[in-house]
Amino acid sequence: MKNQSSNKLPHEMKNTNILLTGATGGMGKAFSQRLFDQGANLVLIGRNSHKLQQRQAELLASNINARNSVEIFAVDLIEAEQRTRLINYLATLPFDINLLINNAGISQLSLFEQTTANEIERIIATNTIAPMQLTQALLPVLLKQPSAQIINIGSTFGSIGFPGYAAYCASKFALRGFSQTLSRELADTKVTVKYLSPRATKTNLISEKIAQLNTALNTATDSPELVAKELLLLIEQHKSERYIGWPEKLFVRLNALFPTIVSKSIVKQLPIIQKFARE
Ligand SMILES: NC(=O)c1ccc[n+]([C@@H]2O[C@H](COP(=O)([O-])OP(=O)(O)OC[C@H]3O[C@@H](n4cnc5c(N)ncnc54)[C@H](OP(=O)(O)O)[C@@H]3O)[C@@H](O)[C@H]2O)c1
């Protein structure tokens, strides 16, 4: 086992070694900044090496006295062979990963009848299958650590089925089910599994069309920095889930207990959703 460490240090994450996927996106940038500021060692993952290099330079420039490292590795996580390359690369690092953050994800607003088979496949492959398979590949290393965490970035749409997002909702519902199951399955190990559920957040995932729909529906939108703060709280807390936003938190619970009430309220918005989804 390499240079071991604990990730129980809330304000001081020195020796916490993090694999962060989706590091070049809106959430990823805010997450990486927060975690770097806390002293964690980072391995940043994205598909685009130029964007990764830029992010690495920005982080290192943000504190030239920092002693923690920022490694980068470009990989398309839906490709099995590329995930294997990533695992082999991690084995060459001087530290073991003890915190995996499955953050990479894609979304799309389209009515189900207009969503292509290829789009459905890509969304499920990116948001569900890739994080499950990356987690499985990294699990032997995580299980060897004195303590380790896996954090899956879900969505409010992982708890509430919302028209226009059938594939995305299916992918995030499945990710939430995976998180809950693995958290229970690993309950007698040192690996804890957690799920963070952001609501709409201002990143490039929100296309122009989605932004217009959100405005029309009066949907509140958070900053990625707020979500990053919530991520740190989740890392510290003992609970395995964290839901962001009010009234979204309430709707998640209401939807689980009384789905017909939530259906009635969502169906009232259907004509607006259809209008934007069809555009
Ligand atoms: N923004 C929201 O409103 C919102 C709300 C709730 C939950 N979320 C969740 O938050 C997470 C981060 O989303 P975001 O808003 O930050 O989106 P974003 O700005 O579009 O960033 C997405 C990130 O995922 C990476 N990625 C996508 N497909 C990949 C693949 N096949 N292999 C490797 N990397 C891949 C992208 O890499 P490249 O840069 O190389 O493309 C990018 O770094 C997602 O899981 C999303 O579902 C977002």
Q: Which atom of ligand 1 is nearest to the CA of 107?
A: 47
pLDDT greater than 90 at residue 7: no
Please state, as a whole number, how many other Cβ atoms lie within 10 Å of the Cβ of residue 203.
20
Q: Is 25 in the pocket of ligand 1 (CB under 6 A)?
A: yes
Q: pTM above 0.75?
A: yes
Structure tokens at 147: 């303590």
Instruction: Compute, in angstroms, the gap from residue 99 CA to the centroid of ligand 1.
Output: 18
Q: Is 153 in the pocket of ligand 1 (CB under 6 A)?
A: yes
Q: How confident is the model at residue 2 (pLDDT cuts 50, 70, 90)?
A: low
**The dihedral sign for the CA sequence 39, 134, 180, 210:** positive
Q: Is 279 exposed, middle or buried (0-12, 13-18, 19+ CB in 10 A)?
A: exposed
Mutate to test the pocket of ligand 1, among 72, 153, 168, 205 (most ligand atoms within 8 A of CB): 205
Instruction: Compute, in angstroms, the gap from residue 189 CA to the centroid of ligand 1.
Output: 29
The residues, ordered by sequence, that sit 6+ positions from 267 with a Cβ below 8 Å of its Cβ are: none
Q: What is the pLDDT of residues 199-211, one digit of tens each?
A: 999 999 999 999 9
**Do the bridges between strand 99-102 and strand 17-20 make them parallel or antiparallel, or are there none, so unpaired?**
parallel
Q: Is 51 in the pocket of ligand 1 (CB under 6 A)?
A: yes
In this prediction, residue 5 carries a pLDDT of 44
The residues, ordered by sequence, that sit 6+ positions from 258 with a Cβ below 8 Å of its Cβ are: none
Mutate to test the pocket of ligand 1, among 20, 24, 132 (most ligand atoms within 8 A of CB): 24
Q: Give percent above pLDDT 90 in the chain.
A: 95
Q: Which atom of ligand 1 is nearest to the CA of 222?
A: 3
Q: What is the pLDDT of residues 92-146, one digit of tens each?
A: 999 999 999 999 999 999 999 999 999 999 999 999 999 999 999 999 999 999 9
| Structural domains of the chain in order of their starting residue, each with its CATH number | 17-278 (3.40.50.720)
In this prediction, residue 4 carries a pLDDT of 46
CA-proximal residue: ligand 1, atom 23 (nearest): 22
CA-proximal residue: ligand 1, atom 36 (nearest): 22
Q: What is the pLDDT of residues 10-55, one digit of tens each?
A: 457 988 999 999 999 999 999 999 999 999 999 999 999 999 999 9
Q: Is 206 in the pocket of ligand 1 (CB under 6 A)?
A: yes
Dihedral, 80, 22, 146, 195 alpha carbons, nearest 10: -100
Instruction: Compute, in angstroms, the gap from residue 105 CA to the centroid of ligand 1.
Output: 4
In this prediction, residue 225 carries a pLDDT of 98
Q: Which amino acid is at 238?
A: H
Q: Is 131 in the pocket of ligand 1 (CB under 6 A)?
A: no
